Amino acid sequence: MAEWTEIRLPDIGDFQEVDVIEVLVRVHDKVAAEDTLLTLETDKAVMDIPAPKSGVIREVKVAAGDKISKGDLIFLMEAESEDISESPVDENADVHQEGAELLTPAAVSTPALPVEKIPSEAPPASDAGFPKEPPPLPVDASKLNPAQLPLASPSVRRFARTLAVDLNHVEGSGRNGRILKEDVQTHVKARLQQASSIDAGPGFLSWPKIDFSRFGEIHTEPLSRIKKLSGANLHRNWRMIPHVTQHDEADITDMEGFRKESASQAEARGVKMTPLVFLIKACAAALKQYPQFKASLSEDGETLILKHYCHIGVAVDTPEGLLVPVLRHCDQKGLLELAVELGDLSARAREKKLKLEEMEGGCFSISSLGGIGGTGFTPIINAPEVAILGVSSASQKAVYRDGTFVPRLMLPLSLSYDHRVIDGADAVRFTRYLSRRLSDIRQLLL
Ligand code: CAO
C-alpha cells in the first residue's frame, strides 16, 4: 500500500532556526525506522534526526545550510508496505490521505507512484496540498539525546564506526569542537603508531626515555630484521595468550646411555644424535595421545582446529636471532631420520638458507636451551600453536628409590600452554606422559 508520510522536525528542545549540516538521504532511498535522515547543529550539540518508520524517501524538503524549526516539513516518505517497488504507477488509482501523515502523490506533486490499496477509513485527499497544521510526528525525541552525542556528523560517526573508533576519545578540530573525518584519521594514525611502538597500551606508563650517555659511554646498534620480526611476534603472543607454564622433569639416565651408544653409529653417517632428537620423538607420541596440544584456536576464538598431522618446530639460536624451522611428520620418522633433518635444518637456519615454507605449518614447538644450561624457563607460545616445550639442562640428582638415594640424570621440562585451550590437569598429564616416555627407552623407540 502506498502511504505517504510527512516527516516534520520534532521537538528538539529550546532551539529555533537550527542549522541543517548534512542530509543523509536522497529521493528514492530506502530507509529503515531509526535510520538517520539528517543532522542538525546548534551551538551546543549535533543531533541526528531518525526516520520515524521504514519506507522510501519520495521528497527531500531541506538542504544542508537551511535553518529549520520544530514542525517544519523535512521529508516525504512512502511508508514501507509490500507494494513499494520501482515499478510503474497506476496513475488512475484512487488515492486518499489518512490523517495528516498519509499524503497522496497528487497532493504532494511527486512523481507517479504505485498506489493500490487505500485504507477504507481514510478521508479524501485535499486539493490544497498539505494540511496547515501538521500532526504530531512519531519521532521519539528522547532518542535524539543531543547531550550524549559527541559533536560529529553521522557520516563521520559512520566512518568512525567502521574503524571501531570511539568518538568520545577523538578530539574535534571543527567549529565548536566538532569532530571531522580528518580528526578520526589522525586519531587512528596516532593509535597505530602507539601500538607499533614499545608502549604497552592505554593505561600503561610510556617507555622510559633515558639518555644513557649521562651515566657512561654508550654506542647503539640496530636490531636485526629477524629480531624485529620475531620480537613483534613474541610480544603479540605474550600479550594475547594467557600463558601458564607447567614444570616437570624426566629421568633420562637410560636414554642418555642409549644415546651415547648410538652416537658413534650416527656420527658415522655424519649425524649428531643429541637429546633433542629423543625429545622430538617423545613429543610426537605425546601429541598423538593428547591432540589438543597440537590444535589451534580460530581467529574469533570460537573453534578449535585439530590437526591430523604432526609437524614440530624447533627453536634455533642464530647470530641474527631466533628461527623456528619445522620438522614434518615427526610421528612417522625414526630417531636417525629426525637427527638428520634437525642437523640439516639447524645448519641452514644459521646460514640463513631456510626457505619460508620450512618455517611454516608447525603444530607444536620445542625450545631447547639444555645445551647451554639452566634449570627451567617460561617459553613463549608460538601462535597459532597452543603449547611449547622448553627444555633445560639435564643434571645428576639424588633420587629416592626403593628406600635409598640413587644418582639419576634428570631433565627439566617447562611446558607453556594456552590456558584458553588447555586445562592445567591436561598439561600435567602431558608432561607426565612425556616424562614416562623419555624415562623408558623401550617405549621411546616404539
Ligand atoms: N641437557 C644436557 N645437555 C644437553 C642438552 C640437555 N637438555 N641438550 C643438548 N645437550 C648437549 C648436547 O648433547 C651437546 O653435547 P655434546 O656436544 O657433548 O654431544 C651439546 O649440549 C650441544 O647440543 P646442541 O645445542 O648442539 O644440539 P641440540 O640438538 O641440543 O640443539 C639446537 C640444537 C639447534 C636446538 C640448538 O643448537 C639451539 O639453537 N638451541 C637454542 C634454542 C633457543 O635459543 N631457544 C630459546 C628460544 S626462546 O628465546
Mutate-to-test residue for ligand 1 from 276, 359, 378, highest number of ligand atoms within 8 A of CB = 276
Pick the range with the lowest mean pLDDT from 55-69, 94-108, 153-167, 276-290.
94-108
Sequence-distant (≥ 6) Cβ neighbours of residue 213 within 8 angstroms: none
Other Cβ atoms within 10 Å of 21 Cβ, number = 18
Q: How many residues does the chain have?
A: 446
Pick the range with the lowest mean pLDDT from 55-59, 98-102, 174-178.
98-102
Helix (H, G, I), strand (E, B) or coil at 170: coil
Query: What would the DSSP string read from start to end of 382-395?
Result: -TT-SEEEEE---E
pLDDT score, position 428: 98
Distance 371 CA to ligand 1 centre (A): 3
Q: Is the pLDDT of residue 183 over 60?
A: yes
The sign one gets for the Cα dihedral 255, 258, 261, 263 is negative
Q: What amino acid positions are annotated as catalytic residues?
A: 419
Closest CA to 406 of 415, 394, 398, 418: 398
Overall average pLDDT of the 340-358 stretch: 95
Sequence-distant (≥ 6) Cβ neighbours of residue 180 within 8 angstroms: 152, 156, 172, 173, 174
Mutate-to-test residue for ligand 1 from 277, 368, 392, highest number of ligand atoms within 8 A of CB = 368
- Decide which of 30 and 103 is more confident: 30
Distance 276 CA to ligand 1 centre (A): 7
- Rounded to whole angstroms, the Cα distance separating 117 from 95 reads 8
pLDDT score, position 114: 30
Overall average pLDDT of the 234-254 stretch: 97
Q: How far is CA 192 from the centre of its chain?
A: 14
Q: Is the pLDDT of residue 370 over 60?
A: yes
Among protein residues, the one whose CA lies closest to atom 47 of ligand 1: 367
Q: Is the pLDDT of residue 240 over 70?
A: yes
Ligand 1 residue neighbourhood (C-beta within 6 Å): 274-276, 314-317, 322, 346, 367-371, 379, 391, 393-394, 411
* pLDDT tens, position by position, 423-441: 999 999 999 999 999 999 8
Query: Residue 331 is placed in which grid cell?
Result: 610421528
Pick the range with the lowest mean pLDDT from 48-57, 70-79, 116-125.
116-125
Q: Is the pLDDT of residue 192 over 70?
A: yes
Overall average pLDDT of the 362-375 stretch: 97
pLDDT bin (cut points 50, 70, 90) of residue 116 is very low
Closest CA to 75 of 151, 134, 145, 123: 134
Query: What would the DSSP string read from start to end of 265-308?
Result: HHHHTT----HHHHHHHHHHHHHHHSGGGG-EE-TTSS-EE--S
What does pTM read for this prediction?
Answer: 0.62
Q: Can you point out the beta strands (E) in 73-205? A: 73-79
Task: Judge whether 292 and 364 are in contact, CB under 8 Å.
Answer: no
Range ranked top by mean pLDDT from 60-64, 98-102, 363-367: 363-367
Among protein residues, the one whose CA lies closest to atom 26 of ligand 1: 371
Query: Residue 25 is placed in which grid cell?
Result: 538521504
Overall average pLDDT of the 259-276 stretch: 90
Helix (H) or strand (E) segment spanning residue 30: strand 30-31
